[in-house]
Chains A and B, each alone.
Chain A
Amino acid sequence: MRMDLIVVGAGRAGLAAAAAATNVGLSVAVVDERRTPGGRVSGALGTSGHDPDGAWLSPPLRSDADAIDEIRRLRAEAQEAVFVSDALAWGLFPGWTAAVARGGRGTERLDADQVVLATGSYVARSPFPGHRLDGVVTPLGLVRALEQGLVRPDEPVVVIGESASAIDIIAVLADEGIGEVALLTDRPRDAGCPVFVLDGTPEAHGDPRVRAVTAPLAGGERRTLAASWVVTVGPRSAAGELATLAGCTSRFEGYDAGFRPECDTTGTTELPGLFLAGSLAGAVGGDASTASGKIAAMAAAVRAGRAGATDLEELVAVRPRAARISPRRVSPVYRDLDPTSPEPVCFCTGATFAEATASIRDGARSVDDVKRQAKAGMGECQGRGCHRAVVRLLDLVGGLDVATLQPMRVRPPIRPITARAMFEAEVPT
C-alpha cells in the first residue's frame, strides 16, 4: 500500500494528525496495534520489561468520558483515513517504509512520503532492591492477579509510583474492595489512601514472597510497611523506538520521562519526512496531544505543499505547553541504587547491577557499551526495563553527564514477534 502519510498510533495525537492530514487532502494510513482507536484513553497501558505471556498492553483500567468523546470526534473527522488496526509497526525504514505485522499473520509493507509517529508512552519498571520477589508486580500483573481472585481483600498492597497511572491503580484496588493500600511516591498527592513521600530508593523484603517494603521518607524517617503485594508503577517513557530505529537522536529528559527523540516545536525531526506527535513530541495531557498531532500533520502538509507556513505557525502559537523538567533531577526510586548489588538490573537477561557497574569501571561509557559487556538490555525488551537504572549507574559510577547520553540502539523488530509474522509472503525481487 502506498500513501502520502503514515500515522503510527491511534491515540489522541495520532487521530488528530490523521484528521488534519485528510482535511488538507493527503491520503493517510493509521496503524495501531489495538482493535479500537483511543490509545491510552481507551485503556492502553504500555508496560515494559519481560512479560511471560508476551503481552505488552493491559486491559482497560479507567477511562474518562470526555476523553472518549474526543476520541470518537477525532475518529469521525479522520474517516477518510485507512485504519490498519490490530497491527504492530515493527520496523520503520527511511524512505519511508513501515513494516506492519497484522494480527500476527504476516507482514504488510506500507510505503509513504512522510510519517507521523504518535506511539505514545509506556510505564517503565523500576529495578529497585527486592523487585524480583514473588508478589512484586506491574500494573498488568496486578490486573491479572485481581482477575484470577489471587488478591484477598485483607491483604496489604503497597503501590510505588510517581505518575498518574499510580493513582489509577489505587482506584482499581478501591473498586475491587482491597482495603489496606498505601502509596509511596515523590511528592504529596491526593490518592484516596495513605501517601508516603519517598526520599530515596525503597527496598522490598521477603523470601520468596514479599512481606514488607522499607522506605526512606521525607523528613528523615525510615518506615516499614507490611505488603503482600507491591505494585511498581514506573515513570512514563515516550515510546520512541521507531524514531530511534529510523535514526533520530534523542535527549535524556530525566528519570521520569527517560529518553525522548528530538524534534522542534512543529514535531519536525532531523530526518526529512519524519514528524513526531503526542508524548513523543513532549505533549503532556490530552489537549496537548491533540494539538501536537494537528501540528505534526500540518508540518507534513506544508512540506508536501498542501498547506501554508502561516497555518502551521498559528497552530504552534496557541498550543498548550508542558513545564520542562531538568534531566538531572533524580527521582527518589533511582537516587540510592546500590551499584554493587547482586540483584538483576535487566529483567530479561538477569544481568546484575554489579555486572553493569564492573563494565563501567572497565571503561564502558554508553548504554550500548554496558549492554554489550554486561548484557543489561540485551534481551527481548531492548532495554525498556533497565535503561534508566543503567543511565543512573553511568552517572553514579562513570561520572558521565546524563544529558549527553543516547538511548540504546534500537533494531527491528521493536518488539518480539514470530519470524512468520515478520515475513511478507510475496518477497520483493
Chain B
Amino acid sequence: MTASTRVHDVAVIGGGVLGNFIAFDLAREGLDTVLLERSYTASGTSGATHAWIYVSTKTPGFYGRFSYASSLRYEALAREHDVDFQYERSGGLSIVWNDTQLDAARRTVAEQNAAGIECHLLSPEEVAVKEPIVSPDHIKGAIHGPLDGCVNPFSVMYAMNRLAREAGADYRPYTAVTAVGRDGDAFRIATSAGTVYARRIVLAAGVWSIELARMIGFELPVKPSRGQVMVSEPMPPTVQHILANASVRQLIERGIILMGRVMETDETENVNTYEGLQKALKDVLALAPSLGDVRVIRSYAGIRPKPFDDLPILGEVPGHPGVYTAVTHSGVTLGPVIGLSLAEVIQGRTTTHDLTPYAWDRVPVDA
C-alpha cells in the first residue's frame, strides 16, 4: 500500500440480497463502500430461495418483530425509491402435519400474539376454506399469518444493486476474495481481480462466509443446509397463500408456482437430487393433490447458512476489530433491517432495533 492507494471505508463481501442491502445503506450514509461478488448478482443462494418475507412463525417474539420491521422497510423503500420488489403480503399458512407439530403451533401462536404479532391456528377444514387447493385429509391444521408475504428475489437484488451504485457504492462482480490480511490500519483483500484495501470488512456471503472467516482466522458457527425447490409452468391464479411446511407459493408476476420443502443439513453441493425431489413431491401431492397436474419446468437448489441457534449473527467479531458478520438463514426476509442495522453498528451509532439477541457475545465458545 502506498500513500496514493485508495482505501475504502468498508468492503462488503457477497453480492446477494444481504450484501446489496448493506452496501446500499452504507453508501447512502456517505461511506466509501466497495461490494465484492465472486460471480455475478443473484448467482448464489439469494437467487435460489423461496423469497418469503415471513413473520408469523419467526419465534421468539422479538425475532418476529424484527422480521415484521423488515417487511415494513421493504414497503417504505419501494415507495421512497419507486422500485418494484413484487412484494405481496399474501398471508401465510404454516401447515401442521402431526400432533407434535400441533402442540408446537399452539405455543408459537401464543408467543407471537403476546409479542403483538397477528396469527392464529386454523383447523384442517378452515385451511381448506381459506385455500381451496389444500386437501384437509393429511393435515392437522395451519397457522395463518396475515402479515406473511413474498418478493421476487431477483427484482430485489437488481433494484438494490442499482440503488447501491446510485448511492455511490463501487460494485465489483467477478471479484472473488482469495486472501485477507492486515496492512497498517487497513485490510488488504486479495481478489481474482486485483487487491482491494478497506478499513472494515463485512462478511455477507452466506455459506461462503464460513471460508472467508477461516481466511481471517475465526470460525463461524454456521452449517450449510441445502434446499431444493421445483418451478411450475406459468399458471392462472391457483394458490393464494404461502403454504409453508410444504413450501408452495405462486409468484404474482409470471404465475409460476414454487414447490418443495427440503432442508438437508451439511449438504454443500448445489445440485438437485432424485431423493430430494421425491421428498418434495410427496409433501406437495399430499397437501394439494391437484398440483399433480401442474407441469414442472425445472428445479433449483440453494445452500443456505444455518446459524447454530437459527438466529442471525450480526456485528463485530470478538478479537477481530473491523470485521463484521451478517449471516442468517433468512436473508430475503431480513435484508432491509440488516442493511440498516449494519450501517448503524459500523458507524458506532445507537441501533434502531435491539441487536443484543444477534450479537457475537451470545455465541458459546464451543458453538
Contacts and interface: CB of A to CB of B under 8 A. Distances in A.
B86 to A, nearest CB: 13
B239 interface: no
Interface string B263-300: 00000000111110111011011000001111111111
Given A363-B40, A365-B40, A416-B233, A424 B295 contact: no
Interface stretch (A34-42, A91-99, A124-132): A91-99
B293 A418 contact: yes
Nearest to B301: A411
Interface string B231-244: 01100000000000
A366 interface: yes
B254 A419 contact: no
Interface in A365-385: 365-366, 368-369, 372-373, 379-380, 382
Contact of B296 (A54, A369, A419): A419
Given A411-B272, A411-B299, A416-B233, A373 B158 contact: yes
Interface string A375-416: 000011010000000000000000000000000000111001
B272 A373 contact: no
B295 A428 contact: no
A427 interface: yes
B218 interface: no
A91 B301 CA distance: 15
Given A420-B285, A428-B275, A54 B173 contact: no
Interface residues of B, number: 38
Interface stretch (B22-30, B41-49, B64-72, B92-100): B41-49
Contacts of A424: 278
A365 B40 CA distance: 8
A56 interface: no
B274 A97 contact: yes
B154 A373 contact: yes
Interface residues of A, number: 32
A309 interface: no
Given A366-B40, A372-B42, A417 B296 contact: yes
B230 interface: yes
Nearest to A349: B254
Contacts, number: 97
Interface in A52-110: 54, 91, 93, 97, 99, 109
A398 B317 CA distance: 40
A419 B233 CA distance: 11
Contacts of B274: 91, 93, 97, 99, 109
Contacts of A373: 40-42, 154, 158
Interface in B276-331: 277-279, 281-282, 284-285, 291-301
Nearest to B275: A428
A349 B253 CA distance: 11
A91 B40 contact: no
B273 A382 contact: no
Interface in A219-268: 247
A6 interface: no
Most chain-B CB neighbours within 10 Å: which of A380, A411, A420? A411
B259 interface: yes
Contacts of A363: 40-41, 171, 173-174
A364 interface: yes
A368 to B, nearest CB: 7
B255 to A, nearest CB: 11
A91 B233 CA distance: 18
Nearest to B40: A369
B295 A427 contact: no
Contacts of B277: 91, 99, 412, 422
A427 B278 contact: yes
Contacts of A423: 278, 281-282, 285, 292
Nearest to A54: B295
Nearest to B229: A411
A128 to B, nearest CB: 25
Most chain-A CB neighbours within 10 Å: which of B272, B291, B297? B297
Contact of B281 (A380, A419, A428): A419
A70 B272 CA distance: 38
Contacts of B273: 93
Contacts of B154: 372-373
A417 B129 CA distance: 29
A411 B41 contact: no
A417 B233 CA distance: 10
B305 to A, nearest CB: 20
A419 B230 contact: yes
B233 A365 contact: no
Nearest to B295: A416
Contacts of A109: 274
Contacts of B40: 363-366, 369, 372-373
Interface of B: 40-43, 47, 154, 158, 171, 173-174, 230, 232-233, 254, 259, 271-275, 277-279, 281-282, 284-285, 291-301
6 contacts: A99-B274, A368-B43, A411-B272, A412-B277, A418-B295, A419-B284
Interface of A: 54, 91, 93, 97, 99, 109, 247, 349, 363-366, 368-369, 372-373, 379-380, 382, 411-413, 416-420, 422-424, 427-428
